[in-house]
C-alpha cells in the first residue's frame, strides 16, 4: 500500500435534478482512498451514498469541489472505474458469461490473447468455469453477481466501484459473496469503493468505513477499521454514528448547514 | 399459540423409510410428446381447415364460387409449371417491390428513431406523425402517389416504404426507450458513447421490439402491395401476385384465383417462419423474449 491517495474527493457537493426541484444529495464530502483499500460508504437510504458513488463513476459532476483519480479530475464514466451494480440486468443478455467478461476488455483494446486469458482466469476465480458458455438468463442471482465481479476485476481497474451489490441476494448467498469478495480482493490487491446500508456488511468487508447522514448527505465519520480491537467494538461505534441523528431534529436548510 | 423452544415434543425427527418401487422419473407417452411439438399441432390445424374447405366445396357444388381444394392445388401446380405465364414471375415481381420498399422503409424508420431518441423535438415529431398516420391504410395514399409519381414502380415502392416506416419506427422507438437504465449505464461505464453506445447497447437491448416492428412492417407492406397491385395491374395489365389474382378472376379461372390467394398466404407463412427462426436464434436464446 503506497502513501499517495489513488482517489481523492475534496469538498465535493453533488446535486441532481428532478422534475420539481434540485436536490443536494452530497454536501462537501472529503475523503481519500489509497491503493488496496476497501472503502465502505455506509448510510441509510437517502444519505447520498449512491449519488457519491455515481459521481466517482463519472455519471454526475460535482457542482463544487473536486473528484480526482490518480491526480486527474473525473469527467465522465470510464472503464478505469468499473462498476458492479445491484441490478440483475447489469450483464448483457445477448452475451455469454465469457463474452460478458471479455467485452469491456475488447472495447478497451486489450490484446485478444491477453483478454481471453484474463477472462478465463477471473471466471475461474469466481468458480464459474463450467457456466462460461451460458447466457445470463440461465444463471442464478448469485452467479450473475459473480460474473459482474469477474468482469469488473478482469479489467484491472484503478478502483472497483460497487453499489450495494449484495443487497438483493438472499442471506446465505450474501454471506458467501462477502467472503469471496474478500478473498478476491486479497488475491488481486484491488482497490474497492463499496456502498452499503448494512453495518455488519461494512464491518466484515471494510478496511475503512465512511459513515454518511442524510439531509443533506454529509460524511459523519471516517473510520480506520484496523484501529479497532474487535469487530464488536467497531460495530458498536459505527452503530452509534449511524443512529446519532435519530433524536435531534435537524434543520433541512442547506445554506445554514454549510455555514456551520 | 406459543411453543416452548426447548420442549422436546416439538422437535420430532421422523424416521421415514426410503420408499421402494417408486419411479422418480417416468417416461411421457410418445403421443403426448408428439402433441407438444408446435409444428405438429399447426399442421393439424391446416389439415382441418382444408377438410372444412373441401367439404364446403362439395356440399355447395358451385366450382365457380368455391372450387375444391384439389382443383385449387391443381391450378397452383399448373401456374407454377406453366411455360409462358408462370406464377413464379409474378412472385418475383412482388418480392422485388416488397423488399425494396421494406428495405428503404426500415432505413427511414431507423433514422427517425435515432432522431427521436436523441432529441426531444424528434420524439414529438415521431409521436405526432405516427399517431396521425396510424389509422390511415397505406393504400389510402395511392391517389397522392398517383399524382406525384404516376403509375410506376416508384409509386409502388413509395407506398410499400410508407407501409413499413410507421410500424417499424414505433416499435424501434419503444424498444430503445425500454432498454434499462442499468444497461445504459453499464455501456457508458465501458466507455461507450454516442453512436457506438447506440450500436453496441441500445440496438441489441431493443432487439425484441425491433424484431416485432420488422415483422409488422413487412406484413403491413405486403398487404399494401397486394392491394396496390390489384389496382395498378388493372390499369397497366402487368404486375405481381395481386395482379395475378385479379387477372385470373377476370378470366373466370376461379381455381387459379384461389391458387393465387394460397400462394400469398404461403409467402406470409414463410416470412413468419423466417422471423420465428431469427427470434429463436437470438432474443429467445438470450432469454429476452419468452
Using the predicted structure, report yes or no on whether residue B9 has a pLDDT greater than 70: no
* Contacting residues of A for B288, CB less than 8 Å apart: 93-94, 137
The answer to whether B72 touches B262, Cβ cutoff 8 Å, is yes
Per-position DSSP letters for B220-234, written without gaps between them: HHHHHHHHHHHHHHH
Q: Could you give the CA distance from residue A114 to residue B47 in angstroms, rounded to a whole number?
A: 58
The answer to whether B164 touches B220, Cβ cutoff 8 Å, is yes
Query: Averaged over A51-79, what is the pLDDT?
Result: 90
* Contacting residues of A for B191, CB less than 8 Å apart: 77-79, 107-108
Q: Could you give the CA distance from residue A233 to residue B218 in angstroms, rounded to a whole number?
A: 68
The answer to whether A173 touches A202, Cβ cutoff 8 Å, is no
Q: Could you give the CA distance from residue B121 to residue B117 in angstroms, rounded to a whole number?
A: 10
Structure confidence by residue, pLDDT tens digits, A32-47? 899 999 999 998 888 8
B180 touches chain A (CB under 8 A): yes
Q: Minimal Cα–Cα distance from B123 to chain A, Å? A: 19
Residue B246 has a pLDDT of 92
Structure confidence by residue, pLDDT tens digits, A152-209? 999 999 999 999 999 888 888 889 889 999 999 998 899 999 999 988 898 889 899 8
Q: Could you give the CA distance from residue B222 to residue B213 in angstroms, rounded to a whole number?
A: 14
Residue B5 has a pLDDT of 54
All structural domains of chain A, each given as residue ranges with its CATH number in brackets, are: 5-80+159-256 (3.40.50.300), 89-156 (no CATH)
Indicate the pTM of the whole model.
Answer: 0.81
Query: Cell 365457380 sits at which residue?
Result: B64
Residue A105 has a pLDDT of 94
A77 touches chain B (CB under 8 A): yes
Residue A213 has a pLDDT of 83
Using the predicted structure, report yes or no on whether residue B171 has a pLDDT greater than 50: yes
A38: closest CA among A165, A225, A248, A234?
A: A225
Q: Could you give the CA distance from residue B87 to residue B259 in angstroms, rounded to a whole number?
A: 10
Residue A116 phi/psi, 5-degree rounding, is -65, -40
B98: closest CA among B185, B266, B220?
A: B220
Structure confidence by residue, pLDDT tens digits, B248-269? 999 988 999 999 999 999 999 9
Residue A250 has a pLDDT of 46
Residue A137 phi/psi, 5-degree rounding, is -65, -10
Using the predicted structure, report yes or no on whether residue B287 has a pLDDT greater than 70: yes
Query: Averaged over B211-227, what is the pLDDT?
Result: 94
Q: What is the DSSP secondary structure assignment for residue B287, as one 8-state letter?
A: T
Residue A246 has a pLDDT of 53
Probe site for chain A from B189, B205, B285 (most A CB atoms < 10 A): B189
Residues 6 or more apart from A194 whose CB is under 8 A from it? A38, A39, A40, A41, A161, A162, A165, A202, A205, A206
Structure confidence by residue, pLDDT tens digits, B78-137? 989 988 788 999 999 999 999 999 999 999 999 999 888 888 899 999 999 888 887 788
Cis peptide, bond prior to residue B193, ω within 30 of zero: no
Binary contact (A136, B189; C-beta < 8 A): no
Longest dimension (CA), chain B: 96
Cα angle: B117, vertex B188, A190; to 5 degrees:
165
Structure confidence by residue, pLDDT tens digits, A103-130? 999 999 899 999 999 999 999 988 899 9
Structure confidence by residue, pLDDT tens digits, B179-207? 999 999 999 999 998 889 989 999 999 99
Of A207-221, B44-58, B171-185, where does mean pLDDT reach its minimum?
A207-221
Using the predicted structure, report yes or no on whether residue A253 has a pLDDT greater than 50: no
Using the predicted structure, report yes or no on whether residue A1 has a pLDDT greater than 70: no
* Contacting residues of A for B175, CB less than 8 Å apart: none
* Contacting residues of A for B286, CB less than 8 Å apart: 93-94, 135, 137
Query: Averaged over A201-226, what is the pLDDT?
Result: 85
Amino acid at each position: 500500500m503506497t502513501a499517495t491517495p489513488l482517489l481523492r474527493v475534496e469538498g465535493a457537493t453533488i446535486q441532481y435534478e428532478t422534475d420539481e426541484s434540485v436536490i443536494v444529495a452530497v454536501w462537501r464530502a472529503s475523503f481519500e482512498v489509497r491503493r488496496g483499500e476497501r472503502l465502505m460508504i455506509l448510510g441509510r437510504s437517502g444519505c447520498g451514498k449512491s449519488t457519491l458513488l455515481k459521481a466517482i463513476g463519472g455519471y454526475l459532476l460535482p457542482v463544487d469541489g473536486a473528484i480526482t483519480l490518480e491526480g486527474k479530475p473525473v469527467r465522465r464514466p470510464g472503464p478505469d472505474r468499473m462498476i458492479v451494480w445491484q441490478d440483475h440486468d447489469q450483464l448483457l443478455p445477448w452475451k455469454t458469461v465469457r463474452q460478458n467478461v471479455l467485452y469491456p476488455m475488447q472495447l478497451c483494446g486489450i490484446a485478444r490473447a491477453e483478454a481471453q486469458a484474463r477472462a478465463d482466469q477471473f471466471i475461474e476465480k469466481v468458480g464459474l468455469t463450467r457456466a462460461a458458455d451460458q447466457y445470463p438468463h440461465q444463471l442464478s442471482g448469485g452467479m450473475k453477481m459473480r460474473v459482474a465481479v469477474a468482469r469488473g476485476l478482469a479489467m484491472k481497474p484503478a478502483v472497483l466501484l460497487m453499489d450495494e451489490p449484495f443487497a438483493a441476494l438472499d442471506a446465505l448467498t450474501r454471506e458467501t459473496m462477502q467472503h469471496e469478495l474478500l478473498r478476491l480482493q486479497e488475491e488481486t490487491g484491488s482497490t474497492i469503493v463499496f456502498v452499503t446500508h448494512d453495518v455488519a456488511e461494512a464491518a466484515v468487508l471494510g478496511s475503512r468505513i465512511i459513515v454518511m447522514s442524510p439531509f443533506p448527505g454529509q460524511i459523519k465519520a471516517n473510520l480506520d477499521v484496523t484501529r479497532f480491537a474487535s469487530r464488536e467494538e467497531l460495530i458498536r461505534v459505527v452503530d452509534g454514528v449511524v443512529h446519532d441523528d435519530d433524536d435531534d431534529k435537524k434543520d433541512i436548510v442547506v445554506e445554514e448547514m454549510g455555514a456551520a | 399459540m406459543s411453543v416452548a423452544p426447548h420442549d422436546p415434543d416439538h422437535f420430532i425427527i421422523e424416521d421415514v423409510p426410503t420408499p421402494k418401487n417408486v419411479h422418480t422419473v417416468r417416461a411421457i407417452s410418445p403421443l403426448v410428446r408428439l402433441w407438444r411439438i408446435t409444428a405438429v399441432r399447426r399442421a393439424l390445424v391446416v389439415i382441418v381447415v382444408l377438410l372444412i374447405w373441401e367439404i364446403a366445396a362439395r356440399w355447395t357444388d358451385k366450382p365457380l364460387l368455391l372450387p375444391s381444394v384439389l382443383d385449387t392445388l391443381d391450378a397452383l401446380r399448373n401456374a407454377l409449371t406453366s411455360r409462358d405465364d408462370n406464377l413464379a414471375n409474378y412472385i418475383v415481381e412482388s418480392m422485388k417491390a416488397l423488399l425494396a420498399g421494406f428495405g428503404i422503409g426500415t432505413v427511414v424508420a431507423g433514422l427517425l428513431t435515432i432522431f427521436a431518441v436523441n432529441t426531444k423535438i424528434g420524439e414529438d415529431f415521431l409521436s405526432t406523425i405516427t399517431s396521425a398516420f396510424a389509422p390511415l391504410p397505406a393504400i389510402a395514399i395511392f391517389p397522392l402517389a398517383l399524382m406525384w409519381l404516376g403509375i410506376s414502380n416508384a409509386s409502388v415502392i413509395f407506398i410499400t416504404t410508407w407501409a413499413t416506416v410507421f410500424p417499424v419506427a414505433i416499435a424501434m422507438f419503444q424498444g430503445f426507450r425500454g432498454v434499462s437504465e442499468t444497461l445504459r449505464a453499464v455501456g457508458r461505464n465501458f466507455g461507450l458513447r454516442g453512436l457506438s453506445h447506440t450500436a453496441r447497447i441500445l440496438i441489441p437491448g431493443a432487439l425484441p421490439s425491433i424484431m416485432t416492428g420488422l415483422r409488422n412492417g413487412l406484413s403491413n407492406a405486403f398487404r399494401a402491395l397486394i392491394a396496390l397491385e390489384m389496382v395498378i395491374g388493372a390499369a397497366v395489365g402487368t404486375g405481381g401476385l395481386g395482379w395475378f389474382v385479379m387477372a385470373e378472376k377476370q378470366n373466370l379461372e376461379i381455381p387459379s384465383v384461389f391458387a393465387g390467394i394460397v400462394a400469398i398466404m404461403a409467402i406470409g407463412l414463410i416470412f413468419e417462419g423466417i422471423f420465428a427462426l431469427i427470434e429463436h436464434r437470438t432474443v429467445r436464446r438470450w432469454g429476452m423474449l419468452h
